[in-house]
Amino acid sequence: MKALRIAVLTGAVIVAAGCGPSDQEQLSQKMAEIRSSLRPSVPKLEEPKRFEPFVYKASGALDPFDPRKVAQAQARLAARSTSGLRPDLDRVREPLEAFPLDTMAMVGTLNRNGQRVGLVQIDKVVYQVRVGNYLGQNFGKVTGISETEITMKEIVQDAVGDWTERSTTLQLQEAKK
C-alpha cells in the first residue's frame, strides 16, 4: 500500500514538472484528492501485561554463591584425589596468574643482583619473573630461567579429578623484522 502511495506521489511530481500553469491546478486537485483518501493506519497496541512481583521463598536454603559451598566442593574433590599432590588454594594469587600462558611471550632476560630475571610480555606490557613466581591459570610455578626459556611446573586436574604435575616452557620469542 505504501509503495502504491509513493508511486502515485512520484508520478504526480513528475507530471507536475512537465505541466503548464493550467495543468498545475488539476495536479493540485488530484493531489488533494489523494491526500484526503489516504488514511494512516495505526496498529492497535496490546494491553500491557500485569506486573506480578516475584517473592523469593528459598531464604532458608543454602545460598549458591556462599563461599562455604565452594569450600565444601573443593574439600570433596581433595578427599577424592588419590595422589597427595594438590595446589595451595589458600595462598594469595599473583598478578600473572590471571592470564593464560598462550597470551604470554618471553622477550628476554636480565641479571639482577646475580639472579636471572625473565621478561614476559602480555598485551604490550613487559613483566619481570623470577624463580618461584607463579604464571598462568594452572598454578604454574617458575622452576628455572635460562637465556632462551622459562621452565615451570603446572598442577592441573585430569578427567578423574586427580591433580597431576606437568612441565611447561615459555620459549624466547625472536624479534619480528
Strands 125-129 and 105-112: unpaired
Looking at residue 135, its pLDDT comes to 93
Can you give the pLDDT of all 177 residues of the chain as single tens digits? Answer: 666 677 667 776 676 665 555 678 888 888 888 888 887 788 888 888 888 888 877 767 777 777 887 777 777 766 665 667 788 888 899 999 999 999 999 999 999 888 999 999 999 899 999 999 999 999 999 999 999 999 999 998 877 677 889 999 999 887 665
Which is nearest to 149 in space by CA: 124, 125, 131, 122? 131
Angle (deg, nearest 10), helices 2-18 and 21-37: 170
Domains and CATH numbers, the chain: 2-37 (no CATH), 82-171 (2.30.30.830)
Looking at residue 142, its pLDDT comes to 95
Looking at residue 177, its pLDDT comes to 55
Looking at residue 2, its pLDDT comes to 67
- Would you say the pTM of this structure is higher than 0.85? no
How many whole angstroms separate alpha carbon 36 and alpha carbon 26? 15
